[in-house]
Amino acid sequence: MNKAFIFDMDGTLFQTNLILEPALDATFDVLRTSGLWQGETPIEKYREIMGVPLPVVWETLCPMHTIEIREESNVLFHVKLIEQIRNHQGALYPYAEQTLAALSENYPLYIASNGQVDYLQAIVETYQLERFIKGIYSIQSIVSGHKSDLVKRVVEENEIQNGVVVGDRSSDIQAAHDNQLQSIGVRFGFAQDNELQKADIIIDDLTALLNITFN
């Protein structure tokens, strides 16, 4: 039986909070300079919704802006994020590398993320995760923009019959259940406590994955 681990990226493997504020500040600096934003950068609001599809992010942060301005802001934001990643301003969560290395000896590992392709690739390349990861799946490839459909693609393309989805948001938990997979919620990411209530297992440390048994 083909068993596999499917990981979320932001708030699960990668400490996005380390690069979030400077990249978002740089983006909103441009909006302020252009007269399109007044006041502080909405960093707390972004943290609340971290992990949702990008159109939802910019609809939430900039509800009064046109679609064109939101799209331009998103492009700039990703440029700034990738600059931070390439400059090693971010970091993996503690024990991420060791855990992935150990798991990859016995199971295929995949990433299914709401992040864009170039953003995910920057993280994978900077931290050499290709040593452990068999495939990287971005929500950009899914018309519906739903995490459940993204995980479904991972399952179907790799003929996964038994696996777990590891993530920090309710969408990760739901994606696991919608695809008849085990759900593992990580408490150290961006999740609110209520988001993890339906997870099969909740962990505080990535090394706990080494003791997981498949259903």
Tell me, what's the pLDDT at 195?
A: 84
Q: What are phi and psi of 192, to 5 degrees?
A: -80, 155
- Looking at residue 177, what is its pLDDT? 97
The CATH number fitting domain 3-15+91-211, selected from 3.40.50.1000, 3.50.50.60, 3.40.50.620, 3.30.70.640: 3.40.50.1000
Opening angle at CA 157, ends 156 and 159, nearest 5: 60
Which pLDDT tens digit goes with each residue over 154-206?
Answer: 999 999 999 999 999 999 999 999 999 999 999 986 767 788 989 999 999 99
Least confident range from 48-62, 80-94, 109-123: namely 48-62
Q: 135: pLDDT confidence band, cut at 50, 70 and 90?
A: very high
- Whether residue 21 is predicted with pLDDT greater than 90 in this model: the reply is no
Residues 6+ apart with CB under 8 A from 107: 3, 4, 5
- Mean pLDDT to the nearest integer, 33-59: 84
The number of residues in the chain equals 215
User: pTM to 2 decimals?
Assistant: 0.90
**Contact present, 132 and 101 (Cβ < 8 Å):** yes
| Predicted confidence (pLDDT) per residue in 79-101, tens digit | 999 999 999 999 999 999 999 99
Residue 1: per-residue pLDDT:
58
Looking at residue 29, its pLDDT comes to 94
Domain ranges (residues) in the chain: 3-15+91-211, 17-86
